[in-house]
Amino acid sequence: MNTTIVDARGLEPPEPFERAMEALANLPQGGQFKLLIDRMPHPLLRMLDRDGFRHESAFRDDGAIEILISRP
Protein backbone atom coordinates (compact mmCIF):
# COMPACT_ATOMS: atom_id res chain seq x y z
CA MET A 1 0.00 0.00 0.00
CA ASN A 2 1.29 3.44 -0.91
CA THR A 3 1.35 5.70 2.16
CA THR A 4 1.16 9.46 1.68
CA ILE A 5 3.27 11.59 4.02
CA VAL A 6 1.86 14.83 5.38
CA ASP A 7 4.78 16.82 6.77
CA ALA A 8 3.48 19.42 9.21
CA ARG A 9 6.75 19.97 11.08
CA GLY A 10 7.68 23.58 11.70
CA LEU A 11 4.19 24.91 11.06
CA GLU A 12 2.25 27.10 13.47
CA PRO A 13 -1.20 26.06 14.70
CA PRO A 14 -3.74 25.57 13.27
CA GLU A 15 -1.91 24.67 10.04
CA PRO A 16 -0.88 21.12 11.10
CA PHE A 17 -4.49 20.33 12.12
CA GLU A 18 -5.82 21.79 8.86
CA ARG A 19 -3.38 19.71 6.78
CA ALA A 20 -4.37 16.57 8.66
CA MET A 21 -8.07 17.33 8.14
CA GLU A 22 -7.49 17.82 4.41
CA ALA A 23 -5.69 14.48 4.19
CA LEU A 24 -8.53 12.80 6.12
CA ALA A 25 -11.12 14.27 3.76
CA ASN A 26 -9.31 12.68 0.80
CA LEU A 27 -8.59 9.34 2.50
CA PRO A 28 -10.36 6.42 0.83
CA GLN A 29 -11.81 3.49 2.75
CA GLY A 30 -8.87 1.30 3.81
CA GLY A 31 -6.39 4.13 3.07
CA GLN A 32 -3.71 5.52 5.34
CA PHE A 33 -1.26 8.39 5.64
CA LYS A 34 1.62 9.39 7.90
CA LEU A 35 1.52 12.70 9.71
CA LEU A 36 4.88 14.14 10.76
CA ILE A 37 4.48 16.76 13.47
CA ASP A 38 6.51 18.53 16.17
CA ARG A 39 4.19 17.93 19.13
CA MET A 40 1.48 15.47 20.08
CA PRO A 41 -1.79 16.74 18.52
CA HIS A 42 -4.21 15.79 21.32
CA PRO A 43 -7.29 17.49 19.77
CA LEU A 44 -6.68 15.63 16.50
CA LEU A 45 -6.24 12.30 18.30
CA ARG A 46 -9.51 12.79 20.20
CA MET A 47 -11.29 13.54 16.92
CA LEU A 48 -9.80 10.44 15.28
CA ASP A 49 -10.97 8.28 18.20
CA ARG A 50 -14.44 9.83 18.10
CA ASP A 51 -14.80 9.28 14.35
CA GLY A 52 -13.47 5.71 14.29
CA PHE A 53 -10.09 6.23 12.61
CA ARG A 54 -7.12 4.11 13.65
CA HIS A 55 -3.88 5.79 14.66
CA GLU A 56 -0.46 4.77 15.95
CA SER A 57 2.09 7.26 17.25
CA ALA A 58 5.86 6.90 17.42
CA PHE A 59 8.63 9.26 18.48
CA ARG A 60 11.37 9.51 15.87
CA ASP A 61 15.08 9.94 16.57
CA ASP A 62 14.97 13.44 15.05
CA GLY A 63 12.44 14.55 17.70
CA ALA A 64 9.40 14.51 15.41
CA ILE A 65 6.27 12.53 16.09
CA GLU A 66 5.09 10.16 13.36
CA ILE A 67 1.41 9.25 13.41
CA LEU A 68 0.08 6.59 11.07
CA ILE A 69 -3.62 7.30 10.47
CA SER A 70 -5.93 4.88 8.69
CA ARG A 71 -9.59 4.67 7.75
CA PRO A 72 -10.86 1.15 8.49
Is position 25 within any domain?
A: yes
Residue 69 located in a structural domain: yes
Reported as a single tens digit per residue, the pLDDT across 10-50 is 999 999 999 999 999 999 999 999 999 999 999 999 999 99
Report how far residue 50's alpha carbon sits from residue 57's, in angstroms, rounded to the nearest whole number: 17
Number of H helices, E strands in the chain: 2, 4
Q: What is the pLDDT of residue 15?
A: 96
Q: CA–CA separation, 36 vs 26, rounded Å? A: 17
User: How sure is the predictor about 1, in pLDDT bands with cuts at 50, 70 and 90?
Assistant: low
Taking only Cα atoms into account, the Rg of the chain, rounded to an integer number of angstroms, comes to: 11
| pLDDT average, residue stretch 52-64 | 97
* Residue 42 resides in a domain: no
Q: In total, how many domains does the chain have?
A: 1
Q: Is 41 domain-assigned? A: no
Is residue 62's pLDDT more than 70? yes
Please give the residue range of the domain that contains residue 20: 11-32+47-72
Could you tell me if residue 5 is inside a domain? Answer: no
